[in-house]
Amino acid sequence: MHLVTLPSIDSTNSEVQRRWLAHYPAPNPAAKAMAVVAEVQTAGQGRTGRNWQSPRGGLWLSIAWPMRGRPDAYEPLPLAAGLAAAQAIQACADLVPLIKWPNDLLIGEKKVAGILCQAYPDWPTPVVILGVGINANFAPELLGQPLRQPATTLQHEIHHAIDLQTLLNLLLESLEHHLLIVDRGDFAEVLLPQIRPRLAWLGQPVRCGPQNGASTVEGRFIGVDGRGQALIQTPGGVQVLCTDELRRVLPP
pLDDT average, residue stretch 190-214? 86
pLDDT band at 155 (very low <50, low <70, confident <90, very high): very high
Residue 210's domain comprises 205-248
Q: What is the pLDDT of residues 71-97, one digit of tens each?
A: 888 999 999 999 999 999 999 999 999
Cβ contacts of 67 within 8 Å, gap of 6 or more: 74, 119, 121, 126, 127, 128
Q: Are 25 and 99 contained in the same domain? A: yes
Residues 144 and 215 in one domain: no
DSSP 8-state assignment for residue 192: H
Read off the CATH number of the domain in which 141 is found. Answer: 3.30.930.10
Same domain, 116 and 216: no
> Are 241 and 118 contained in the same domain?
no
63 and 35 within one domain: yes
**215 and 165 housed in the same domain:** no
Instruction: Note the pLDDT tens digit of each residue in 91-144.
Output: 999 999 999 999 999 999 999 999 999 999 999 999 999 999 999 999 999 887
Tally of domains in the chain: 2
CA 1 to centroid of chain Cα atoms: 19
Do residues 85 and 175 both lie within one domain?
yes
Query: What is the tens place of the pLDDT at every residue in 1-46?
Result: 899 999 999 999 999 999 999 999 999 999 999 999 999 998 776 6
**What amino acid occupies position 155?**
Q
Q: Residue 148: its pLDDT value, please? A: 66
pTM: 0.92
Domain of 214: which CATH number?
2.30.30.100
- Residues belonging to the chain: 252
Give φ, ψ of 48 to 5 degrees.
55, 35
* In a shared domain, residues 98 and 218: no
Give Cα separations from 74 to 58, 99, 122, 237 (angstroms): 26, 18, 14, 27
Residues 130 and 218 in one domain: no
Mean pLDDT of all residues belonging to the chain: 91
Q: Is the pLDDT of residue 70 over 90?
A: no
The pLDDT of residue 121: 95
By CB atoms closer than 10 A (0-12, 13-18, 19+), residue 231 is middle
Give the C-alpha separation, 145 to 46, whole Å: 16
Residues 57 and 153 grouped into a single domain: yes
Residues 210 and 189 in one domain: no
In this structure, the number of other CB atoms found within 10 A of the CB of residue 34 comes to 20
Whether 9 and 89 map to the same domain: the answer is yes
pLDDT above 80 for 51: no
Query: In whole angstroms, what is the distance from residue 97 CA to residue 126 CA?
Result: 32
For residue 49, what pLDDT is reported?
56
Segment 57-79 shows an average pLDDT of 94
